[in-house]
Structure 1
Amino acid sequence: MPHSQHMDHKMNGSATPTPDPHAHHHTTASLEHMHDGGMMDMTFHFGYKKVPLLFSGLIINSAREMAGAFVAIFLLAMFYEGLKIARENLLRKSQVSIRYNSMPVPGPNGTVLMEMHKTVGQQMVSFPHLFQTVLHIVQVVVSYFLMLIFMTYNGYLCIAVAAGAGTGYFLFSWKKAVVLDITEHCH
C-alpha cells in the first residue's frame, strides 16, 4: 500500500492499521544481514561453509580456506598489537620539546616542596606528527576490521582475533618501559 494511503487509514480512524509491506523488509534487513538467501548467524558457531569475511566477494567455503583466514586474521591481530606499541615508541622518540615547570606546594610539618611538571610536545606541522597521523588511521582501520571479523560470530575467526591479539601483546608489550614520575600524585 502506498505511504499516502497508509496515512489516510490512520487519519480516518481505521481500527486496524494496514502495515506497510516494505517497512518489515527494511527493518528485518537492517537487524540481520542476509547472505546466499539465508539469515546470517547472530550467535557463536563453528562452521566453515558460506562464512562471509568483510567484503561481499570474500566467502569462506572450505576447511582449507578457514585455516588460511585463521592464520591471516591471527597475523592481523598481532600486527595491530605491534602497531600500538610501535606508535608509542615513535611518539617517545619524536618528542620535540620538553619543558619543565616547578611550583612550591605545602609539605608535611610546614615545609615547602617543589613540584615538577614535565610538558612534552611536538610541532603540529612536522613529519613525525604526520607519520603518527597516518599510523593512527591504519590502526583505527585495522581495529574496525578486527571488530567486524569478531562480529561474524564464527568461533574460529573469533579465536583467531583473540589469540593473535594475545600473542601480539605477549611479543611486543613486554619491552614497554614503565616510567614512574616520583612527583606525580596519582599512580
Structure 2
Amino acid sequence: MHMSFWWDYKLTDYLFRGLSSHSIAGLVGMCLSVASMSFAFEFLRYLQAKQRQKELILRSEQLKTICPTETSTLLDGTQAPPGVTITPMHRTFLFVSEIGLWFSLQNLGYILMLSVMLYNGWLFISAVVGGGLGYFVFGQMFMKINLQNCQIIRDTWCMQKCGEPENLPGSKDGESTPALEAVPGTSTTVLNCHEVAASVHAECHPQN
C-alpha cells in the first residue's frame, strides 16, 4: 500500500475488488466521481441545515403560543391561543428526514476519506476541487441559514415571557416555568419552554 502520494493513472481495487482503472479515461471517470461526491457532501450539509430550520420554525410557532410575549399580553389583555402541537406525522417526517440526511452524510464522508487514503494525488485533488466548488456554491447559504437559526432561537426563546413560578401552579423550586401538560383533545404532548430551549440551544452551540 502506498504511504505517500503517487500519480500513476493505474488504480487497482478502488473501494471494491475489481473496480480498477488501467487507462487515463478510467482515472478521469474516477476523479469525476470523487469530485461529485465531494460536491454532494457540501450540498447535503446545506440540506441538513435547512431541515433543522424547518424544525426550529415549527417549535418556534409552538413556543410562541405556549409562552406569549409580554408586550402582546399587556396590550391585548387576552389569553394565548392553544399551543401548536407537533403531530406524530410531523415527528415522523422530521425524524426520518434527519436520520436520512445524517446517514447519507456519514457514509459519503467515509467514502471520501477512504478515497483520499489511497494516496493517489489525482483523487486527492479531485476531492479538494469538488469540496471547494461545493463550498463556493452552498457555503454562503449554509452560513446564512445557521445565522437565521440563531435568530429564530433568540427571537423565540429569549424574548418570551414564560410566566413566574409564584404565579403559575405546578412549578417547582428553582424552576422559572412549570412543566406543561398535554393539550386537551390531542394525542401529543406540548413541550415546555425548557425542553424546547434545550433542543434548539444546540443549533448555536454545537458540541464539536
Give TM-score scaled by structure 2 length.
0.55
* Greater gyration radius: 1
CA contact (8 A) 1:52 1:152 kept: no
The match for 1:64 among 1, 15, 25 is 25
Gaps of 5+ in 1: 1-39, 102-121
- Name the one with the larger strand percent: 1
Distance (Å, rounded) in 1 between the aligned partners of 2:115 and 2:20: 12
- 1:104 corresponds to: none
1:129 equivalenced with 2:95 (yes/no) = yes
- 1:97 corresponds to: 59
Any idea what SS the aligned residue of 2:5 has?
coil
Gaps of 5+ in 2: 68-85, 159-203
- 1:165 corresponds to: 131
1:88 equivalenced with 2:49 (yes/no) = yes
Deviation >6 Å, runs of 4+? none
Letter in 1 for 2:119: Y
- 1:44 corresponds to: 5
- Structure with bigger RCO (C-alpha 8 Å, 6+ apart): 2
Q: Percent identity?
A: 27
CA contact (8 A) 2:46 2:141 kept: no
- Name the one with the larger helix percent: 2
Any idea what SS the aligned residue of 2:4 has?
coil
Change (3 A) 1:126 1:67: same
Q: Tell me how far 1:52 sits from its aligned partner.
A: 3.0
- 1:108 corresponds to: none
1:175 equivalenced with 2:136 (yes/no) = no
Across the two proteins, how many residue pairs are aligned to each other? 129
Distance (Å, rounded) in 2 between the aligned partners of 1:134 and 1:175: 21
Letter in 1 for 2:139: S
CA contact (8 A) 1:80 1:143 kept: yes
Q: Tell me how far 1:164 sits from its aligned partner.
A: 0.5
Q: Compute the RMSD of aligned alpha carbons.
A: 2.8
Q: Tell me how far 1:51 sits from its aligned partner.
A: 3.5
Distance (Å, rounded) in 2 between the aligned partners of 1:165 and 1:92: 23
Distance (Å, rounded) in 2 between the aligned partners of 1:123 and 1:171: 35
